[in-house]
Structure 1
C-alpha cells in the first residue's frame, strides 16, 4: 500500500470533492438504514393486528429506533392499521428516493474525481517521459511505456474511484448496521456476524495470491503491447521477408501466456463471490433460526419484526461485503500498477540543467577538448580524445565509416549525452552550464534516422516553429529541393504523411526533415548523414541550395560520403572514435591517407554506376 501513497497529492488537490463524496456516501447509507427499522415496525403491526390488537408502541419499544424513525412512528402511531401500512409504504419510497439522490451525488463527486486524477496522472507521466534522456529510451520498449501510461493508469483509476467509493460505502453501511443491530439485540448481532471472521481470513489469503498474479499479468501485457507495436511499425519489413506467420506465432505465444495468467487470476477472484454468498446465506439462516426460537420460547424483547429487521440488515450488507473481494482485488491491482508507474516516475534523467544554468545566444563558436565518451549501457567507447575547434560561420564536415563515432559527436553537441572526460564549449561556456533546451532551440538538427509525425507535410515542416507562415514553409521546402514534388500531391502541403511518413519515399522524408531544420533559420545547423536516400542529381541540387543558405552560419555536416562540390573550411576524418585526419579537401588529398582512399573508392563507384 505504500506504493499508493504517491496518490495522496491528488486526493489533497481534490480534497473538497473527495470530502463531499464521503459525506454523500454517509447520507446515502443513513437514509437506507432507516428502511429495516420501519419494516420491522410494520411487521410487528401486522402481528399485533393478527392477534386482535392494535396497540401503539411504547416509549421503551421506540428506544431502539433512530430518532427520525421515532418521529415518523410517533406521527402515525395512533392511526389505524391500514393507515400505518399506507404511510409506511410511502415513507419507504421517499427514503429510497432520497438515498438514490445522494447516491447520484456520491458518484458525481468520487467517480468524477477519479477521472480528474486519471487525467492528471497521465499528464504527469507523459511530461516525465519527455524529461527522460536518450539513454532511458534505449533500454525501455515503446510498448512498455505505452502500457504504463494507459493500462496501469486505468487500473489505478479503479482504485481512486470505485474502490475508494465502495470501501467508504462498506465502512458506512457496516457502521450504521452494527450500531442499530447492537442497539436492538446484541445476541442476534453476534449470531448474524459470526461467519465474518472466516470471510476475513479467506480475503487475506486470496488477496496475497491476487497481488502476485496481478504483477505478473501487467508484465505480460507490456510484452504483448510491445510485440504488437513493433509488428505494426515494422509491417513492411515483415511482409518483405514473408514472416507474417512467424510473427503471428510469436504474438500467439505471448497472448497465450497472458491469457493463461489472466484466467488463473479470474479463477482466484471467482472464489470471492461464492464465499460471500455462502457466508451471507449462513448468516441469514442462523439469524432466522435463533430469532425464531426466541419468539417461540417467548424470550423477552424477541419479536418477528426484529427478525425481519435483522434479515434486511444482512441483505443490505450483502453487496458491500461481497464487494470486499472486488475492492481488494482492484486495490491489489492498483498497487501492482502504481509500483510500475513509480519505477518510471522515480527515474531521474541523467541529463539535467545545472543550478543557475545560463540561457545565452549561441553564436556558433565551438570548442571540443579531449572528449572521451562511452555508451553507458553497451560499454562501447565511441569517442576517444576528440579535439575540434570550429569558429563562427565555418562549414565543417565530419566523415567516416559506419560506427566511427560521427553521430555520437552530434548527440554530444546537442547534449543528449554528457561527456565522460573533456569538455564541449559554446562561445567559451561549457555546455553543461547552459540550459539544454536553450541550446537545442538554437540549433537545427537533421537526424540520421528521419522521423515524421502522422500529420500534414506543412505541420511536419514547421514542427519546431509553429508560428511559421505558409510562405516560410514554402521557402524551406524549396531550399530542401522538395517543393515541386509536394505540389504534385493531390493535397499538396496538406497531404497527410501517415505514421512515421510511411506514404513517402526515403528521399522525400529526408528532404522534409531538412526543410523542418531550415525553417528555424538558426545560427548553427547539424546535418547527420541526411542525404543518404537521395540520388546524386538531387544531392547536388540540395548542396547548392544549402551553400547559399549556410552563409554566415556555423554548419556541421556528418556523412560517410565526400561532397567535393561543397567548399568546407575543415574536414575531420574519423575512424573508431579517433580523429585520424583533419584539413581541407586539397590538403587531405595530398596526404593520400584514409580520406584519399575513401574519395577514390567513391569515384570508382560513381563511375561504375
Structure 2
C-alpha cells in the first residue's frame, strides 16, 4: 500500500466527497441490516399465530386471528419494502459521492502526469518508449481510479456491513454467532495468500501491456517502411507472440480469481449449514426462537456478496498498487533542465560558446569538445560538417534542450542557465532536422507557436517559407487537415510548413537545423532571400550539408568529430584549402555529374 500513499493528497482535496460518502454507506447498511430483524419477528409471529389459530379451530374467533395475522404479515412486508427503498436511495447517494470523486481524481492525475511529462528533458524521451508513456497516463490511471472509486466504496461498505452484522449476531446469541463466523480465519488466510499471487500477476500484466502498446505505436508510425519491405507477416508474428505472453499472464490471474470466488461461496455456505444445525439445537433447548434462525440466515446471506467482493476488491487494490508504482517511477523523476528565473527580458541575439563540451548522458557519446566561438547580434552564422560531427547537438544546446557538461553558453553576456527558459525559447524560432507536424489544419500547424494569430500573418509566413502556392492549390487551402505527422504533405512541403511555423513568431534568434534538404535549389534560394529580409538585424543560425545554402553567411563554422576545425567566411575557408574546400569541390563535382 506504500505506493498508493501518493493518492492521500487527493483524498484530502476531496474530503467533502468522502465524508458524506462514508455517511451514506453507514446509513444504507443500517437500512440493509434492519430487515433481517423484521424477518425474525415475522417468523416468530407466524409460528405463534399458527398455534393460536389451531387452538381456535371451529370457533368464530379463528377468522379474527386470521385477519390480525394477515394484517401483521402485510405490515411487515410493507416495512421491509420501505427499508429496502431507503437503502437503495442511500446507495444511490453513496455512488454519487464516492464514484464521482474517483472521476475527479482520475482527471487530476492525468493532468498531473501530462504536465510532469512536459517538464522532463529530451533525454527522458530518448530513454523511454512512447507507448509505455501513454499506457501509464491512460491504462494505469484507469486502474488507479478503480481503486479510489469502486474498491474503496465496496471495502467501506463491506467493513460497515460486517461490523453491523457481527454486532446484531452477538446481541442475539453469542454461541450461534461464534459458529457462524467460524470459517472466517480460513477466509483471512486465503485472502492473504491470493493477494500475493494477484500482486505478482498484476505487475507482469501491466509491464507486458506497456510493451505491447509500445510495439503497436512504433509499428503504426513506421507502417510505410513495413509495407515497403513487405514485413507485414513478420510483424504480425511478433505481435501474436507478444499478445500470447499477455494472454498467458492474464489467464493466470483469471485462474486465481476463478478459484478464489468459489472458495468464498463455499465458506459462506458452510456458515449457513452451521447456522441451521447449531440454531436448531438452540431452538430445541429454548435459547432462541425460530425467527432468530431466519434472522441469522439473512445475515449470512447478506455477508455473501461482500465476502465474494473481497476477492474483486483485493484484485483492484493490487492492480492499482502495481499501476501506481509505475506512475510514481516517472513522477519522482526530476527534470534535467531547471529554470528558476522568472524575470522576462528581450533577447538581443548575441551568442558566445566558451570551452563547451557535451556528452549524451544516455549513450555516453561525446558530441562536442571545447567549442569556442562568438556570434554577434544580427549575424548570419552557418554550421557545416560531416554526419555525426555535432551540428544538431550544437543547435540543441543553444535551445537548452540539454545542459553542457563543461564550459558555458552566454546569451547577451548572460549565462544561459540563469535565463528564464520559457521567455528565452519564446523568442527563438527553431526548425528541427526531423520535421514534426500535428494532425491538425495547416493553419494551426503554422500558428502553433502563438496564442493568437491572424489569417494575414499565417499567409505571410507561408509566403516567406515558399509554401503558399502549394497550400492554396489544396481544396480547403489553409484549413486542410493533415494526417499523422503531416503524412498528407510531401517531404519538402512539410519542411516549408515547419519553417513558416518558426518565421511567424518573428524571432530574435532563428535556428535552421538542416531543414532545407528536401527542397530544390530554386525554392531554397527563395527561402534564403526571404530569410535575409525578415531576419535583418536579427541572429540566424543555419545547420546545413549543402554549401550553396550557407556561402553567403557572415561566418561559417566547420565541425569534425565534435571539434571546430575551421571557421571564417566562404572565401576565407576556400583559401585555406582545408576540409571546407574539399567538401565544396566534392559537391561541385556531384552537381556536374548529374
1:585 to 548, 556, 570: 570
Residue 359 of structure 1: how far off its partner (Å):
2.9
1:315 alignment counterpart = 301
For the aligned residue pairs, the C-alpha RMSD in angstroms reads 1.5
1:532-588 deviation per Cα after TM superposition (whole angstroms, max 9, x unaligned): 111222212212221222211100001111136752110000001000000000100
Aligned with 1:572: secondary structure?
A: strand
SS of 1:418's partner is coil
Q: Which residue of 1 aligns with 2:207?
A: 219
Instruction: Please give the per-residue CA displacement for 1:17-60, whole angstroms capped at 9, x wherever unaligned.
Output: 111110000010000111000000000000001222699xxxxx
Match of 1:233 in 2: 221
Find out whether 1:553 has 2:538 as its counterpart: yes
SS in 1 for 2:489: coil
Report deviation, 1:300: 3.0
> Do the aligned partners of 1:547 and 1:566 also contact (CA within 8 Å) in 2?
no
| Correspondence for 2:558 among 563, 573, 590 | 573
CA distance in 2 between counterparts of 1:220 and 1:412 reads 36
Q: Is the 8 A contact 2:25 2:157 kept in 1?
A: yes
Q: Secondary structure at the match of 2:547?
A: coil
Q: What is residue 133 of structure 2 aligned with on the other side?
A: 145
Taking the aligned partners of 2:97 and 2:319, their CA distance within structure 1 comes to 23
Structure 1 residue aligned with 2:59: none
Instruction: Give the secondary-structure state (helix, strand or coil) at the position aligned to 2:548.
Output: coil
**Matched position secondary structure for 1:445:** strand
Give the Cα separation in 2 of the matches to 1:547 and 1:423: 29
Match of 1:455 in 2: 440
Give the match for residue 363 of structure 2: 378
Aligned twin of 1:16: 16
- CA positional deviation for 1:600: 0.9
| Contact 1:588–1:596 (8 Å) recurs in 2 | yes
Give the corresponding residue for 2:97.
Answer: 109
Alignment counterpart, residue 134 of structure 1, candidates 122, 131, 139: 122
1:264 aligns with 252
Alignment of 1:269-418 (within 5 A): 269-295=257-283, 297=284, 299-354=285-340, 356=341, 358-418=343-403
Structure 2 residue aligned with 1:52: 52
Q: Say whether 1:41 aligns with 2:29.
A: no
Structure 2 unaligned segments of length 5 or more: list them: 56-64
Give deviations 1:138-178, integer Å, cap 9, x for gaps: 00000000110011000000100000000000011001101
Q: Which residue of 2 aligns with 1:197?
A: 185
Q: Distance in 1 between matches of 2:348 and 2:521?
A: 32
Q: Is the 8 A contact 1:358 1:433 kept in 2?
A: no
State the distance in 2 between where 1:360 and 1:431 align.
13
Write the distance in 2 (CA, Å) between the matches of 1:300 and 1:429.
Answer: 95
8 Å CA contact 1:48, 1:54 repeated in 2: no
The residue aligned with 1:72 is: none
Whole-angstrom distance in 2 between the partners of 1:341 and 1:38: 49
Contact 2:261/2:308, CA 8 A, preserved across alignment: yes
Q: Describe the superposition over 1:102-153 as per-residue Cα deviations: whole angstroms up to 9, x where unpaired.
A: 0000000000100000000000000000000000000000000011001100
Counterparts of 1:43 and 1:53 in 2: how far apart (Å)? 15
State the alpha-carbon separation in 1 of the partners of residues 526 and 96 from structure 2: 63
Matched, 1:539 2:527: no
The answer to whether the 8 A contact 2:524-2:549 is kept is no
- The reply to whether residue 246 of structure 1 matches residue 231 of structure 2 is no
User: 2:30 is matched with which residue?
Assistant: 30
Could you tell me which residue of structure 2 aligns to residue 62 of structure 1? none
SS in 2 for 1:403: coil
Instruction: Check the 8 A contact 1:3/1:335 in 2, yes or no.
Output: yes
Q: 1:130 to 1:565 in 2, by over 3 A?
A: closer
Match of 2:142 in 1: 154
Alignment partners' CA distance in 2, 1:54 and 1:555: 109
1:564/1:413 CA distance change after superposition, 3 Å: closer
From 482, 485, 489, the equivalent of 1:500 is 485
Aligned to 1:182: 170
Contact 1:144 1:226 in 2 (8 A): yes
TM norm structure 1: 0.94
Which string of whole-angstrom CA distances, capped at 9 and with x for unpartnered residues, describes residues 445-495 of structure 1?
000010000000000000001301000000000000000000001110000
Residues 398 and 559 in structure 1, CA contact (< 8 A), matched pair in contact too: yes
Q: Which residue of 2 aligns with 1:426?
A: 411
Checking the alignment, whether the CA contact within 8 Å between 2:382 and 2:550 is kept in structure 1 is no
Distance 1:54 1:551, change over 3 A: farther
Aligned-partner Cα distance in 2 for 1:54–1:219: 71
What is the aligned length? 585
Aligned-partner Cα distance in 2 for 1:379–1:36 = 71
| Partner Cα separation in structure 2 for residue 521 and residue 79 of structure 1 | 94
Instruction: Extract unaligned runs of 5+ from structure 1.
Output: 56-76
> How far apart are residue 92 of structure 1 and its match?
0.6
What is the CA–CA distance in structure 2 between the aligned matches of 1:560 and 1:382, rounded to whole Å?
18
1:116-127 matches, within 5 Å, as 116-127=104-115
Q: Deviations over 1:406-434 (max 9, x none)?
A: 00011111111000100000101100001
1:598 equivalent to 2:583? Answer: yes
Is this contact kept in 1: 2:542–2:550, CA < 8 A? no
Compared CA separation, residues 277 and 599, structure 1 to 2 (3 A): same
Deviation of 1:302 after TM superposition, in Å, equals 1.7
CA distance in 1, matches of 2:299, 2:395: 72
CA distance in 2 between counterparts of 1:600 and 1:543 reads 22
Distance (Å, rounded) in 2 between the aligned partners of 1:541 and 1:391: 25
- Per the alignment, residue 464 of structure 1 pairs with 449
